[in-house]
Amino acid sequence: MDFDLTKEQKMIRREVRKFAESEIAPVAAELDEKEEFSADITKKMGEIGLLGLFVSEQYGGEGLDYISYIIAVEEVARVDGSQAATIAAGNSLGIGPLYYFGNEEQKRKYLPKLCSGEALWGFGLTEPDAGSDAGGSKTTAVKNADEWVLNGSKIFITNAACELSLGITVQAVTGTRPNGKPEYTCFILEHGTPGFKAVPMHKKMMWRASSTAELYFNDVRIPKENMLGNKGEGFHQMLQTLDRGRLSIAAMGLGGAQGAYEAALKYSRQRIQFGQSISRFQAVAFKLADSAMEIECARNLLYKTCWLLDNKRQFEKEAAMAKLYCSEVMGRVVNHAVQIYGGYGLMKENSVERFYRDQKLLDIGEGTSEIQRIVIARHIGCL
């Protein structure tokens, strides 16, 4: 067994870390406070190849493996969850469905712009009454001659209402299957299409510098050639997208845990109480030791899962495990970090306060921790 990263993967970690520390870290707190999406940073992330990392070069991507992509997300998340969310959703949820399920014409039309950072793409799945219960979707698409007429709404959609948003992939009910369950189909929908409205969502607790939107569809007419794949394949496409997307959420948990741990370790060495640094007190040292141990375990699980994916092995169970474990590891690590900082950890001037808020989304987004446990239980034969 070889646990060494390749030279290319090590270079990606080094370069992305340098970029995150020089370009993102100085403005992360300000963007968070203002709830301001940064098109400038997003374009810069595109320029250095952080969008489309796993996409082949013929469509404008970098043609790298999934481990390389996950390392990039991890390193951005080590500094800021909002910017990590932009590239994680931009890749896994925006680019992914178009790349894996789009036809040649669709790929060539959209992927180069998305991979360059010139534009972003959303993933329209969650609805006001359909979160964990994806089968509760009420958005419909009805065939009318050579068009589909879309009606309904979506909510909590990342990258769908900022100045770089080009469009979304939207899942809609297009009929009923023989077993009586809804039939789902995915469509490509560009901004500017009559009847399509995207409204930015504000006052978020976390990821305040990422773009989140509510989407409304009122008799939106979609050309038949904008169907993604074939009629009735939408649910399968969405499940495959979420399986891969879980890995990027796991990477955000891993990176955020690493960032909070490093901040707490540094602070504990500098903070003097009772005549010595607090890192020398067993209560603090054990918190840091537990954090280091769990981060190491989380990284091994996540990287192994990416290795399975890169080698075309079954990875769905491990993806759920990695998403669940990395998310909850970050929760424990950031809690330790804030405790180590004491009162200072409650102040916005310290990054651990932002890490503490950003972590909570990881327990909820792209399948709650409860849903991940259901997925794992099914794989091990309990349900």
The neighbouring-strand residues paired with 227 are 187
Q: Apex CA 209: angle with CA 205 and CA 211, to 5°?
A: 95
CB of 124 within 8 A of CB of 157? yes
Report how far residue 351's alpha carbon sits from residue 224's, in angstroms, rounded to the nearest whole number. Answer: 48
CB of 89 within 8 A of CB of 98? no
Catalytic-role residue among 30, 74, 366, 370: 366
Q: Which two tokens stand for residue 159?
A: 């990258």
Annotated catalytic, 233? no
Report how far residue 166's alpha carbon sits from residue 207's, in angstroms, rounded to the nearest whole number. Answer: 21
CB of 116 within 8 A of CB of 94? no
Helix 39-47, helix 104-116: angle, nearest 10: 110
Q: Which two tokens stand for residue 182?
A: 């809804």
CB of 83 within 8 A of CB of 256? no
Report how far residue 342's alpha carbon sits from residue 354's, in angstroms, rounded to the nearest whole number. Answer: 15
Q: What is the DSSP letter of 14?
A: H
Short-list 323, 333, 315, 331, CA closest to 370: 323
Residue 73 sits at φ, ψ, to 5 deg, of: -60, -45
Alpha carbon distance, N-terminus to C-terminus of the chain: 33
Report how far residue 51's alpha carbon sits from residue 46's, in angstroms, rounded to the nearest whole number. Answer: 5
**Annotated active-site positions, please?**
366
